[in-house]
Amino acid sequence: MVLMGGDQVLMAASAPQTATMLEKHGLNVTKVDISEFEKHEGRVTCLSVLIGQ
């Protein structure tokens, strides 16, 4: 899961129960299919670029 700022988070679509739990806690969840990366133990954080303000 990657915090995008405010109540927005980005996470893998392969964890729907976690997404539901986060949404129940008021977060706006964007789910992305990264199944091909997960086959090689990749995660959303591995695919992220942090940009400073």
pTM: 0.74
pLDDT, mean over the chain? 85
Average pLDDT over residues 17-30: 97
Task: Please report the pLDDT score of residue 48 as a whole number.
Answer: 66
**Rounded-to-integer distance, Cα 21 and Cα 38, Å:** 21
φ, ψ at 16 (rounded to 5°): -65, -30
Q: In what helix (H) or strand (E) does residue 3 lie, and over which residues does it extend? A: strand 2-5
Q: How far apart are CA 52 and CA 38, in angstroms?
A: 27
CA distance 50 to 47: 10
Q: Percentage of the chain with pLDDT > 90?
A: 47
Residue 27's pLDDT band (cuts 50, 70, 90): very high
Q: What is the pLDDT of residues 35-47, one digit of tens each?
A: 877 777 777 766 6
